[in-house]
Amino acid sequence: MSKLRIILRTAAIAAVAVGLTGCISLFPKSKPAGLYRFGHAAAESSRPASDKSFGVYKTPTVFTRSAMSDRLLSVTNGEAAYISDARWVSPAIVLFDEAVARAFEGDDSRARLVTRGEALKAVMALRLEVRSFETDYVNGPKAPPEVLVEVRAVMTRSNDRALLGDKVFVARVKTADNRLSAIVPAYDQAVDQVLTEIVAWVGEAGAKLPAAT
């Protein structure tokens, strides 16, 4: 190939490249997703920590796969979709576990969560299975939705793994508007309602058990 042809070919490639830069953006502009959280800090317990006389070992939380990430799941007439331009600041399963820990710390029951290394000090094990964690458009896509949180809780005694309780806790909170500013607080209310009931349920059962030795 002659030197002139090489020069012309190079010039043609460069011209095409320049033309493409006018059509293709390597960094397309898009609206950033809003970041939200649920599970506000619980109120401080009025009881000294030393009065919480029995330990509870919480096994890893089981979370519905479609809602465990940082995306907000919605359901309309049986059809599931994610709410656009909205994300949790962390995966929902992480925020939920943080809310569980705060609920036990702030509650006045005698129960306290223990770490894996302290499992032998626990009188019971608690398993939480989050079955539903979603925004339900029960009256159509334009009406204010409901936030649904459904959790199955299972308690077993530590020394012999005997079943102490198996119960499903459900909270439905109707939002005031079909806006994220109303939907996110409804998640707070639903999570708080469910966890308050679970902690009270665990506290009542654990108070009847002998202390771990």
**160-185: average pLDDT:** 96
Q: What percent of the chain stands above pLDDT 90? A: 67
For the chain, the average pLDDT equals: 83
Q: Average the pLDDT over 63-80 and give the result.
A: 96
Query: What domains lie within the chain, and their CATH numbers?
Result: 33-206 (3.40.50.10610)
Say what the pTM is: 0.80
136-143: average pLDDT: 95
More confident position, 45 or 123: 123
DSSP string, 10-54: HHHHHHHHHHHHTT--SS---PPPEEE---PPPPPPSS-GGG--E
Residue 107: what pLDDT? 62
Quick one: average pLDDT of 184-198? 96
Q: What is the pLDDT of residue 33?
A: 73
Of 89-103, 112-126, 138-152, 163-177, the least confident: 112-126
Percent of the chain at pLDDT exceeding 70: 77
- The pLDDT assigned to 150 comes to 98
